[in-house]
Structure 1
């Protein structure tokens, strides 16, 4: 791995664990085993590292959702896979990082908000259309309304105010919210398929 990529990977990992405000360029250099001067040779300041780190995170998220869409057997399978990915991501991401980006780095936060609309919301709409075509979701769904409802569900599931970490397990919250969503939009055929996925997950 080239030095620049190693610096970025290290910085992103530290941001996700400790937040962005408390991590210094010296911390990143020390964790990489290089000098601070070397870090500055590749990144002009911490703002540049945060910006590129968030871009990498969003690109990886987009790539996974595209892969998920291609590999999933059906719309319900796709939705369940995506939910599991989000849980895994949330477990390695300190909510403080997003809070600090929103407060101290508004330009980067605007890119995240744009991503929510361009990628997440659009992806949910496409999943709804796929499920309706496959006969798994009800035909009378108003996708613009239901997609936004699902997006709000996802955001609420990881809101520490709504579901404090010391009282709720993120995976259980996501499983309950996702099951409720699927069963609420599914046809009888979709219900049967959804129950199969839920039973498989219980056995695991």
Structure 2
């Protein structure tokens, strides 16, 4: 129980104040425990950072899986995912992610690969169901599109490609998902998208 509490509190501090900025002393003081107690569970700060990063990754992954397990059509699945990502965008701290990537590149790389694998699986499943239900074209290449989707999503954070003074992150997300869906949709899918746009 104490281990889980340390992970949860550390995740909160790291994400709000930065992975480099927060020390083991800060965590101990915030929790009202000794630093020695933390070291009983995590031999180094790097081990703690890894545990908190995996914890947050799993939380986000569970939430995304719920989007793809809902009893809605494939296009609505993507739109549910969009709503979740927007909630994450509104709460994320760019400086924390920058520090994580800079000071813990090994952990960042491992989680990025896991994120790729999970995203690819979710999108592949969505594409297969979309084809089966008549929302997506039968001639699309599922392997390519599932990989391209991940690449597009990652590119949204590249400010050289998408300057923040030209696009907001939420605008970009909307453009990319519309680009994705309209590129693969059948007439039935296009009509459904137009209906959603009209209703909104």
- How does the TM-score come out when normalised to structure 1? 0.86
Are 1:20 and 2:19 an aligned pair? yes
Are 1:130 and 2:129 an aligned pair? yes
**Deviation larger for 135-144 or 22-31:** 22-31
Equivalent position of 2:146 in the other structure: 147
| Alpha-carbon spacing, 1:180–1:21, altered in 2? closer, same or farther (3 Å) | same
Give the superposition deviation at 1:93. Answer: 2.6
RMSD of Structure 2 on Structure 1 (CA): 2.1
Partner of 1:160, secondary structure, is coil
Give the superposition deviation at 1:165. Answer: 4.1
| Alpha-carbon spacing, 1:195–1:72, altered in 2? closer, same or farther (3 Å) | farther
Equivalent position of 1:121 in the other structure: 120
- How does the TM-score come out when normalised to structure 2? 0.88
The aligned length equals 200
CA distance in 1, matches of 2:161, 2:17: 22
Q: How does 1:76-91 map to 2 (within 5 A)?
A: 76-91=75-90
Equivalent position of 1:43 in the other structure: 42
CA distance in 1, matches of 2:94, 2:52: 16
5+ residue gaps, structure 2, are none
Partner of 2:148, secondary structure, is helix
Cα deviations across residues 113-171 of structure 1 (Å, max 9, x unaligned)? 32133201121111111111110011110111112221111111233333344553222
Q: How does 1:178-193 map to 2 (within 5 A)?
A: 178-193=177-192
| Alpha-carbon spacing, 1:103–1:198, altered in 2? closer, same or farther (3 Å) | same
5+ residue gaps, structure 1, are none
| Alpha-carbon spacing, 1:98–1:71, altered in 2? closer, same or farther (3 Å) | same
CA distance in 1, matches of 2:90, 2:160: 17
Equivalent position of 1:69 in the other structure: 68
Equivalent position of 1:95 in the other structure: 94
Whether the aligned pair in 2 keeps the contact of 1:10 and 1:32 (CA below 8 Å) is yes
Equivalent position of 2:173 in the other structure: 174
**Deviation larger for 164-173 or 151-160:** 164-173
